[in-house]
Amino acid sequence: MKVQFCPSLMCVDFARLSVEIAQLEKAGAAMFHIDVMDGHFVPNFALGPEDIKAVSKLATVPYDVHLMVTNPDPYIERFADLGCSIIYVHAEAPVHLHRTLSSIRSRGVKAGVAINPGTSLSVLEEVLDVVDVVMVMSVNPGFAGQPFIASSVNKIHRLRTMLQQHESRAKIAIDGAISPQVVRMLGADVDMFVLGTAGLFRKELSYKEAIDILYDQAVLAQEERQEISV
């Protein structure tokens, strides 16, 4: 399993977006992660449709949208039309989660569901048939620079077991304070890591140097898993 590293574009300098995207792609970014915040579901505002349009004109790798909004349903069609590969909604937000995820899929976009640190995995059991990616939040959403919530490690392990038990092909993503140490712990169970200030946007390293370190940690985690299973 080759993990994917997905830089959060909330952390880039939009004044030099074309340079940032080119450098991130050259460094090995597999997908760009675009946070949309409404100031209600989370106590912050972030990117919107015009920002995504700008990204779409520059990016040669796919990009997803993470809707951290109270009522995502009215926006699904609009964001699907912007060329997103995955649209994430929070399990805590829609009134009818199964319907919302089905609506995303009906527009030819992969359906992602995100769960907050305080949300049980049990909310996923009845929607796994319409989920393509489950994203575990390892910080409380809304702000960059928060510490990693340690219980997320066990949550990821339990999620992997749940997917196997349900014979689900859904991928696992994680978002929040993803450092090399976190990748080392979870590189054998997580398919997609969303990268922010803890692992990628670090002043002392270039984007390529940072992503190379993360890839090395993922490889070590997977090799260790293989040795245990032999």
CA 64 from centre of chain:
8
Q: Is 225 a residue whose pLDDT tops 90?
A: no
Determine the average pLDDT of the residues in 33-50. Answer: 93
Q: Taking a C-beta distance cutoff of 8 angstroms, is the pair 59, 65 a contact?
A: no
pLDDT in tens, 48-87: 999 999 999 999 999 999 999 999 999 999 999 999 999 9
Please give the structure tokens belonging to residue 226: 């293989």
Q: What span, in angstroms and rounded, lies between the C-alpha atoms of 133 and 191?
A: 9
**∠ CA(177), CA(183), CA(185), 5° rounding?**
110
Q: How confident is the model at residue 181 (pLDDT cuts 50, 70, 90)?
A: very high
Helix axes 49-58, 17-27, angle to 10 degrees: 60
> What contacts 151, CB < 8 A, 6 or more positions away?
117
Exactly one of 38, 64, 175, 189 is catalytic; name it.
175
pLDDT in tens, 111-142: 999 999 999 999 999 999 999 999 999 999 98
Exactly one of 13, 35, 64, 189 is catalytic; name it.
35
Q: Taking a C-beta distance cutoff of 8 angstroms, is the pair 128, 103 a contact?
A: no
Highest CATH level, class, for 4-229: alpha beta
Phi-psi region at 18: left, alpha or beta (left = phi > 0; alpha = psi -120 to 50): alpha
Q: Is 1 a residue whose pLDDT tops 80?
A: no
Please give the structure tokens belonging to residue 160: 């992997």
Q: Taking a C-beta distance cutoff of 8 angstroms, is the pair 152, 188 a contact?
A: no
The predicted pLDDT at position 145 comes to 81
DSSP 91-119: TTS-SSHHHHHHHHHHTT-EEEEEE-TTS
Q: Is 230 a residue whose pLDDT tops 80?
A: no
Q: Any catalytic annotation for residue 175? A: yes
Q: Any catalytic annotation for residue 35? A: yes
The model's pTM? 0.96
Determine the average pLDDT of the residues in 13-18. Answer: 95
Q: Taking a C-beta distance cutoff of 8 angstroms, is the pair 98, 127 a contact?
A: yes
Residue 146: closest CA among 39, 2, 10, 48: 10
Q: What span, in angstroms and rounded, lies between the C-alpha atoms of 114 and 107?
A: 19
Q: What span, in angstroms and rounded, lies between the C-alpha atoms of 184 and 54?
A: 34
